Structure 1
Amino acid sequence: MGKRLASAISPYLLSHAGNPVDWWPWGEEAFAEAARRDVPVMVSIGYATCHWCHVMARESFSDPELAAYLDEHLVAIKVDREEHPEVDAAFLAAASAFTPQLGWPLTVFATPEGRVFFAGTYFPPRAAHGVPSFRQVLEAIVEAWTLRRAEVEATGAAVAEALAARPEEALAALPGEHALSASVAELASFEDPQYGGFGADAKFPNAPVIAFLAERGRRGDAGADAFGRRLYDAAQALRDPVEGGFFRYAVRRDWTEPHYERMLSDNAQLLDLATGFGDEGTADAVAGFLLEVLRLPNGAFASAQDSESLVDGERVEGGYYALDAAARATQPRPAVDAKVLAGLDGMAIGALADAGVRFARPAWIEAAARAADAVLAAQLAATSDGPRLRRAGRGERVSDASATLEDYGGLAGGLLRLALAAGEPAYAVTARELLDACLDDGEVRAPGGGDPVLAARGIQVDADQSEGATPSGAALLADAARGMFELTGDDRYAAAAERAIAPLLGPALERPIAFGATLAVAARLAAPPEELVVVLPDDAGVDGPLADAARGWAAPGRTLAILPQRAAEAFAAAGFGLFADRTPVAGAATAYLCEGFSCRLPTGDPAALAAQLA
């Protein structure tokens, strides 16, 4: 039995604790056991809301006979890819030598030294469609290890050598107007003219790409703006009409059959898009999903909701979501992965804060603050070397997994946006501390080093440069640093932002469909900053005609604060120079607009502000 998983933080690992497989969690102990027994390791990587991970668990890992064979001949390691993104990235890179169909569940076979000699994804219980059964794979692995050890070790060494020899990407300058326009044109070549979205098969919302197009639209590219809105409108087919959240993707070209898991990362980004497009209906639906379904008792957000659940006592995929509101009320909700990931929660915190400002929903800002307080209380520790984040937590327990730039950048960016929305400089101070912890002699890296088990085996991987449906850690850090530069005027944050994404710019310009977040941040960095501060008398509320005019300007990437004079003074005293000397003129609400490093005259006239923002 997988009793070693019974105390895991990860709900994914806990779901395998009852398997007959003698699972080991990720760690040195598993590799030491493999070396002691002189057997290979099988590293099985997945996540809690992965449908085919569930299927393989039911078909293979719950089979006592197969489990006995696996335990006799190998050491089996179970990994939650969300808890250990570096491990996932390292084994994905190695697996690419054996299969082009990368995804999860990821099944990797390696020597006790961690050198991968075979890999695949889902293996069925019986051979089908040219894919061998899982038992056949295990038997072939054991035969090769027993009879052709030299060949196995040579394969592992060759893969390790090839990965280590990959050239580093040259640092690139920020792209100019021509390069960004070319990226838009490249993206347009992938658009499905009939059903919308990208490609002719499965359809993802690809929120990072839409964010890039929206950023271009805000900078005057009307074609990019229209393109982004078409993609956004097409993705609405994935929104649950009852509970509001967006599903992961559609399995058909016409968007008619969703894959039903709902991810915090997707919904945080789609809430940002709704804010940027002024779509209050979608914002209301997504915020409702975050607050009513993914919000945990302490106020933080679960990382995902499962696609499978019980409907009338039978476990099915998607059946719950086919029900109307009344019928759903009679069935148990699909389980949520209650693991709290610092970076992804930061994305949700920022999205709720910005949406709360744009649509005048103070309850959303309050919910973002409660989530931030929960994450900071559980997963941020003060050390003599500065603040140190813990990547994952569940309840009162935290994982020992290394925090990445995704965590530092995602949380810092969310805290910055919350600070402006709530008028609370303490959140911005913490964001600054998190960013400073990642800046080291001109380099940008997560403090504390990477995964120690990988490092001990000489496996080097940068999980923070992996991007797709979720922004890379580098892009999240860069965007947070950009925001900090606009608040402080400290050029080292602008330099850090450019440094963070520089290695990704070459690949991003070559394959923009895979690097939307990097391109969105690059477009923001390449353009002049936009900052608007509305300062109100201390005895006034945050509503009124001037504040309303400012709210309509709110969008991701823009620095907007609507706050009382005492809060502006507190920000200035804390070192955020944007707020220096920002006071209500003649005791009335006053707006200060700065664009491109130059500022307009302050105004208290809503019509004049609207004209400045036009």
Structure 2
Amino acid sequence: MPNALANETSPYLLQHKDNPVDWRPWGPAALAEARERDVPLLVSIGYSACHWCHVMERESFEDPEIAALMNELFVCVKVDREERPDVDAIYMDAVQAMTGHGGWPLNAFATPEQVPFYAGTYFPPQARHGLPSWRQVLEAIAEAWRDRREQIVAQSAAVVERLSAAGQLRPSGAMVDPGILDDAVATLRTNADGVHGGFGGAPKFPQPSAIELLLRRDEQTVALDALRAMADGGIHDQVGGGFARYTVDAAWVVPHFEKMLYDNALLARAYLHGWQVSGDAELRGVVEDTLDWLLRDMRGPEGGFYSALDADSEGVEGKFYVWSLEQLQAALDDERLYEVALDWYGASAEGNWEGTNILVRARPGIPAPRELPEIRARLLAARAERVPPGLDDKRLTSWNALAIAALAEAGAALERDDWLDAARGAADFLLRESRGEDGRLKRSWKDGRATLPGYLEDHAYLTGALLTLYEATFEERWFVAARQLADATIEHFADPVNGGFFMTADDHERLVTRRKDLEDTPIPSGNSAAAVALLRLARLTGEARYEQAAEGVIALLHPLAANHPQAFANLLAAIDLQLGEVHEVAVVGPPESAVPLLRTLRGAFRPRVVLAGAVGADAGGAVERSAVPLLEGRHALDGRAAAYVCERFACRAPVTSSGELAALLR
């Protein structure tokens, strides 16, 4: 008999609908039941591509005896952390404070008033490796609730105060020291893994925001080393394109095989910028295979993008991606291709993971063999016959926004109309299906239905993505929509007292605390994304209120960013945009003479340029009215397209040649 999750749309929640656990979705009904029964909440949080979430489900949540105990002692609530980042963030803060680490599955026990008093991650069915069994945890928590409830309740105020700390952070009042940008680069350089590239040890995660900051500040060595090391490793799908979420080793070889939309969107842009600063054709190739994978495997029929691919297929982690020698030989069906593949990928009989081969680039620095495209095509065709990993097919607004930004910027830079069309399609989909009559966004869409109020990151990411799409296409409808979203973000999410933005809107359901998401890991925080988007919008409109809202974020967070650059890399990018020399560029005129100017602008990494355009405008006329204030009054020169380079709307004489334009942007 299905439980209450059967009515949900989240693929993760639906995975648990047939558990004997009487799961409830998060919401007023579950909270009311906990109060009525006078029992704690058991809040279990995960996501559909989470391997250890599946393990704990098989071991414990599908066990009828364990399930009966859970149902008797608690109100059991299942949360998809991707749909409800607000709930996840609160209980993740709690588990990290209580245990010193976090992760998923996340299992928290809370009072009926939502206050957590015990939390952990994975628990085995029998005690092992220093972990109590899940049954032992359940019984101990129930005993504590029965015998020491007064102590638990007495501690609630202190717990709530700790969980509320981020939301109550106040600006220091100190001016932003421009030196923190150089200090951040020096710290990142020191923390870089000089052997394997990237940052940190096992498990090892891509850090695109840190890489982007290094490229912005012209620290190419560390950034390019990280990009090349990941591209060569098993974290990069050498056959089908795209990246796994992380590797379990420090050398980027053995991935945890799940693929997330957000990782791939952010990495595609990082690789694009790496190519722009280096001219390395192999980095450009990674952009192409990542975005082509996105369009091939992750795009829904309506134009939106799916959330994730599971690590498991047929119940086995990585089975879809790994190869035995026999499988390689059968797939290639050509002895010459087989020998080249063995050499290129370093495949062997013993393999590099559990007797199988995770394909890596075994000969970095050596030019790819001419046979490689055919090898990849044959392996991809053979792999397509396998049982694929599970697909999380919900469309999240914020993650789709990241994909739109990547496709739009790369499509313009590499002149790929199919990517630009995909970006337009996804943006149309979000604005049509996930934007309400009040102009605000929904969080998630699946099976024709948009659900859950949008969070700060949904609004901030899409604002930035629509500005990028406008810059890539010069279609003013994207600029208009971006400005409307920015206004809604300021109205409903801004903190007028301390500055910055709350994670949830002013009319969001009441949780135990109203948080601010601050750190840029693994994805940019809503605050830093809002700051970057608003600073760009301020330069396109000339309106100080957008800049002032962004400065509120920076005033609040710059002391933290100075000490923790890896955790605040995108916030530091906003500071770079705030303090740096930003060029506002308007290009007006016929397409044939505008193309060289646009190639000059888009062929290089120019993070301190905002771009407006009226390409195709009457060569002899002026842009008298535009939704984009930067364009007003601009005109072509003697029938040729002209570029106007400005700083805070004070413009130099227009130029018509690529050389002149490049000189003004130095």
| Same fold (TM > 0.5) | yes
User: Partner residue of 1:163?
Assistant: 163
CA deviations on 1:521-549 (whole Å, 9 max, x unpaired) are 21111112123333232xx4687433333
Q: d(CA) in 1 for partners of 2:618 and 2:284? A: 28
Shift of 1:436: 0.7
User: Partner residue of 1:382?
Assistant: 437
1:265 to 2:262 alignment: yes
User: Partner residue of 2:383?
Assistant: 328
Shift of 1:406: 0.3
1:398 to 2:395 alignment: no
User: Partner residue of 1:348?
Assistant: 403
1:373 to 2:409 alignment: no
1:81 to 1:229, Cα distance in 2 relative to 1, 3 A:
same
Matches within 5 A, 1:161-200: 161-164=161-164, 168-171=169-172, 175-200=176-201
1:23 to 1:253, Cα distance in 2 relative to 1, 3 A:
same
Q: d(CA) in 2 for partners of 1:570 and 1:89? A: 51
1:502 to 2:555 alignment: yes
TM-score (normalizing by structure 1): 0.91
Shift of 1:263: 1.3
User: Partner residue of 1:241?
Assistant: 238
Q: d(CA) in 1 for partners of 2:664 and 2:654? A: 11
User: Partner residue of 2:212?
Assistant: 211
Structure 1 residues not aligned, in runs of 5+ = 218-223
- Which of these residues, 436, 461, 477, is aligned with residue 530 of structure 2? 477
8 A Cα contact 2:19 2:62, kept in partner: yes
8 A Cα contact 1:425 1:570, kept in partner: no
User: Letter of the aligned partner of 1:517 in structure 2?
Assistant: N
User: Partner residue of 1:220?
Assistant: none
User: Letter of the aligned partner of 1:438 in structure 2?
Assistant: T
Of the structure 1 ranges 372-381 and 226-235, higher mean CA displacement relative to structure 2 is found in 226-235
Of the structure 1 ranges 271-280 and 51-60, higher mean CA displacement relative to structure 2 is found in 271-280
SS at match of 1:297: coil
Shift of 1:299: 0.5
Shift of 1:266: 1.2
Q: Which has the higher contact order (CA 8 A, sep 6+)?
A: 1
Matches within 5 A, 1:407-426: 407-426=458-477
1:333 to 1:556, Cα distance in 2 relative to 1, 3 A:
farther
1:98 to 2:73 alignment: no
User: Letter of the aligned partner of 1:206 in structure 2?
Assistant: Q
1:570 to 1:113, Cα distance in 2 relative to 1, 3 A:
farther
Q: d(CA) in 2 for partners of 1:364 and 1:390? A: 25
CA deviations on 1:138-179 (whole Å, 9 max, x unpaired) are 011111122222233234444224434676242466643321
1:363 to 1:70, Cα distance in 2 relative to 1, 3 A:
same
Matches within 5 A, 1:107-118: 107-118=107-118
User: Letter of the aligned partner of 1:413 in structure 2?
Assistant: G
User: Partner residue of 2:292?
Assistant: 288
Shift of 1:467: 2.9
Q: d(CA) in 2 for partners of 1:450 and 1:261? A: 35
Q: d(CA) in 1 for partners of 2:106 and 2:622? A: 50
Q: d(CA) in 1 for partners of 2:390 and 2:171? A: 44
User: Letter of the aligned partner of 2:509 in structure 1?
Assistant: P
CA deviations on 1:304-324 (whole Å, 9 max, x unpaired) are 2211113xxxx2111212243
Q: d(CA) in 2 for partners of 1:488 and 1:476? A: 18
Q: d(CA) in 2 for partners of 1:160 and 1:36? A: 22
Identity fraction in percent = 42
1:3 to 1:181, Cα distance in 2 relative to 1, 3 A:
same
User: Partner residue of 2:589?
Assistant: 536
Of the structure 1 ranges 315-324 and 115-124, higher mean CA displacement relative to structure 2 is found in 315-324
User: Partner residue of 2:636?
Assistant: 584
Shift of 1:225: 2.6
Shift of 1:412: 0.8
Q: d(CA) in 2 for partners of 1:292 and 1:596? A: 42
User: Letter of the aligned partner of 1:233 in structure 2?
Assistant: R
- Which of these residues, 305, 313, 316, is aligned with residue 309 of structure 2? 305
- Which of these residues, 249, 254, 268, is aligned with residue 251 of structure 2? 254
User: Letter of the aligned partner of 1:548 in structure 2?
Assistant: R
1:594 to 2:646 alignment: yes
Shift of 1:24: 0.4
Shift of 1:9: 2.3
8 A Cα contact 1:425 1:571, kept in partner: no
8 A Cα contact 2:192 2:199, kept in partner: yes
User: Letter of the aligned partner of 2:401 in structure 1?
Assistant: G
8 A Cα contact 2:123 2:132, kept in partner: yes
Structure 2 residues not aligned, in runs of 5+ = 277-282, 324-378
SS at match of 1:393: strand
